[in-house]
Amino acid sequence: MKMTTSAVPINENFRLEALKSLEVLDTESQSEFDEITALAAYLCDTNIAVISLVDSDRQWFKAKHGINKTCQIPRENSLFSHAILDPDHTLIVEDVSKDKRFNKAPIFLEDTHVLFYAGVPLVDKNGFALGTLFIVDDKPRSLTEKQLESLKAFAKQVVILFELNKKNNDLEKIQKKLKKRNESLREFAKVISHDLKMPLANIITSTDLLKLLLNDKLDEDSKQYFEYIKASSFSMSSYISDVLQHYESENLINSQPENFDLNDLLKEVIEFLSIKSDCDISFPKGDTTIECNKSALKQVFVNLISNSIKYNDKEKLIISIDFNKDDMFYYFSIADNGMGIPNDKIETIFELFTTANTTDKDGNKGNGIGLSTVKKLVTSLGGCIKVSSKEKISTTFEFSIKKCKKQTNTSKSA
Domains in the chain and their CATH numbers? 12-173 (3.30.450.40), 251-414 (3.30.565.10)
Positive/negative CA dihedral, 202, 205, 208, 213: negative
Q: How many CA atoms lie within 13 A of 132 on its CB side?
A: 26
**What pLDDT digit, counting tens, does each position of 29-54 carry?**
999 999 999 999 999 999 899 999 99
Residue closest to 268 by CA, chosen among 277, 260, 257, 259: 260
pLDDT computed for residue 380 by the predictor: 87
pLDDT computed for residue 243 by the predictor: 59
Under 8 Å CB-to-CB from 361, ≥6 apart: which residues? Answer: 310, 311, 312, 313, 339
Report how many helices (DSSP H) and strands (DSSP E) the chain contains, helices first.
10, 15
pLDDT computed for residue 316 by the predictor: 87
DSSP summary character for residue 284: P
Q: State the virtual CA torsion across 58, 63, 65, 68 in degrees, nearest 10.
A: 60
Q: Which portions of the chain are predicted below pLDDT 50?
A: 1-5, 246, 249, 407-414
Count Cβ atoms below 10 Å from residue 21 Cβ, excluding itself: 11
Strands (E) in 86-151, as ranges, are: 91-93, 108-109, 112-113, 116-123, 129-137
> Is 368:348 a contact under the CB 8 Å cutoff?
no
Q: How far apart are CA 26 and CA 72, in angstroms?
A: 10
